[in-house]
Homo-oligomer: A and B are copies of this chain.
Amino acid sequence: MAQTQPRKTRLTFGVMLQGAGSHMNSWRHPGNPADASVNLDFFIANARKAEENGIAFAFVADGLYINEKSIPHFLNRFEPLTILSALATTTRKLGLVGTVSTSYSDPFTIARQFASLDLISGGRAGWNAVTSPLEGSGRNYSRPHPEHSLRYEIAQEYLDVAKGLWDSWDDDAFVRDRQSGRFFDREKLHTLGHKGRFFQVEGPLNIQRSAQGQPVLFQAGASEAGIGLAGRHADAVFANHVPLEDAQALYRSIKTSALAHGRSADDVKIFPGAGPIVGRTHAEAEEKYQAIRNLVSIDEALAYLGRYFDHHDFTAYPLDAPFPELGEIGKNSFRSTTDRIKRNAALKHQTLREAALEAATPRTDLIGTAEEIADVLIGRVEKQAADGFVLGFPVLGQGLSDFIELVIPVLEERGVYDRSLSGTTLRDHLGLPRKTSRYVDASAGVQARRAG
Interface residues of A in 235-266 (CB under 8 A from B): none
A207 within 8 A of B: yes
| Residues B85 and A82 in contact, CB atoms below 8 Å apart | yes
Distance, CA A28 to CA B178, complexed state (A):
5
- 0 or 1 for each of A305-349: is its CB under 8 Å from B? (1 = yes): 000000000000000000000000000000000000000000000
Stretch of A1-9, A65-73, A364-372, A393-401 contacting B (4+ beta carbons < 8 Å): A65-73
Interface residues of A in 36-86 (CB under 8 A from B): 38, 40, 44, 63-64, 66-68, 70, 72, 74-79, 81-86
A214 within 8 A of B: no
| Residues B204 and A79 in contact, CB atoms below 8 Å apart | no
Stretch of A104-112, A271-279, A420-428 contacting B (4+ beta carbons < 8 Å): A104-112
| Residues A27 and B183 in contact, CB atoms below 8 Å apart | yes
| Residues A136 and B89 in contact, CB atoms below 8 Å apart | no
CB distance from A126 to the nearest CB of B (A): 14
| Residues B206 and A63 in contact, CB atoms below 8 Å apart | yes
- With contacts A79-B207, A105-B109, A139-B200 taken as known, whether A25 is within 8 angstroms of B120 at the C-beta atoms is no
| Residues B83 and A86 in contact, CB atoms below 8 Å apart | no
CB distance from A42 to the nearest CB of B (A): 12
A351 within 8 A of B: no
A358 within 8 A of B: no
A267 within 8 A of B: no
| CB < 8 Å neighbour of A79 from B44, B68, B87, B116 | B116
A289 within 8 A of B: no
CB distance from A67 to the nearest CB of B (A): 7
B residues near A178, Cβ cutoff 8 Å: 27-28, 30, 34
| Residues B72 and A183 in contact, CB atoms below 8 Å apart | yes
A414 within 8 A of B: no
| Residues A81 and B85 in contact, CB atoms below 8 Å apart | yes
CB distance from A74 to the nearest CB of B (A): 6
Distance, CA A64 to CA B186, complexed state (A):
20
- 0 or 1 for each of A203-237: is its CB under 8 Å from B? (1 = yes): 11011100000000000000000000000000000
CB distance from A424 to the nearest CB of B (A): 15
B residues near A208, Cβ cutoff 8 Å: 38, 76
CB distance from A209 to the nearest CB of B (A): 10
B residues near A117, Cβ cutoff 8 Å: 82
- With contacts A120-B86, A201-B142 taken as known, whether A207 is within 8 angstroms of B76 at the C-beta atoms is yes
Distance, CA A203 to CA B141, complexed state (A):
10
| Residues B35 and A174 in contact, CB atoms below 8 Å apart | yes
| Residues B82 and A113 in contact, CB atoms below 8 Å apart | yes
B residues near A109, Cβ cutoff 8 Å: 104-105
| Residues A191 and B67 in contact, CB atoms below 8 Å apart | yes
B residues near A30, Cβ cutoff 8 Å: 178
B residues near A449, Cβ cutoff 8 Å: none
- With contacts A74-B206, A89-B44, A207-B77 taken as known, whether A82 is within 8 angstroms of B28 at the C-beta atoms is no
A160 within 8 A of B: no
| Residues A119 and B78 in contact, CB atoms below 8 Å apart | yes
B residues near A87, Cβ cutoff 8 Å: 89
Distance, CA A84 to CA B119, complexed state (A):
14
| CB < 8 Å neighbour of A81 from B82, B119, B176, B200 | B82
| CB < 8 Å neighbour of A27 from B88, B115, B176 | B176
Interface residues of A in 78-135 (CB under 8 A from B): 78-79, 81-90, 104-106, 108-109, 112-113, 115-117, 119-120
Taking each of A67, A142, A169, A181, which has the highest tally of chain B beta carbons within 10 Å of its own beta carbon?
A142
| Residue ranges of A at the interface with B (Cβ–Cβ < 8 Å) | 25, 27-28, 30, 34-35, 38, 40, 44, 63-64, 66-68, 70, 72, 74-79, 81-90, 104-106, 108-109, 112-113, 115-117, 119-120, 136, 139-142, 169, 174, 176, 178, 181, 183-184, 186, 189, 191, 198-204, 206-208, 295, 297, 300
A-B contact pairs, 10 of them (CB 8 A): A28-B181, A34-B178, A40-B119, A63-B206, A67-B191, A76-B184, A83-B120, A136-B202, A141-B201, A142-B200
Given A44-B89, A81-B85, 14 more contacts at CB 8 Å?
Answer: A34-B178, A40-B119, A68-B186, A74-B206, A75-B184, A77-B206, A104-B108, A105-B109, A106-B142, A136-B202, A139-B201, A139-B202, A142-B199, A181-B297
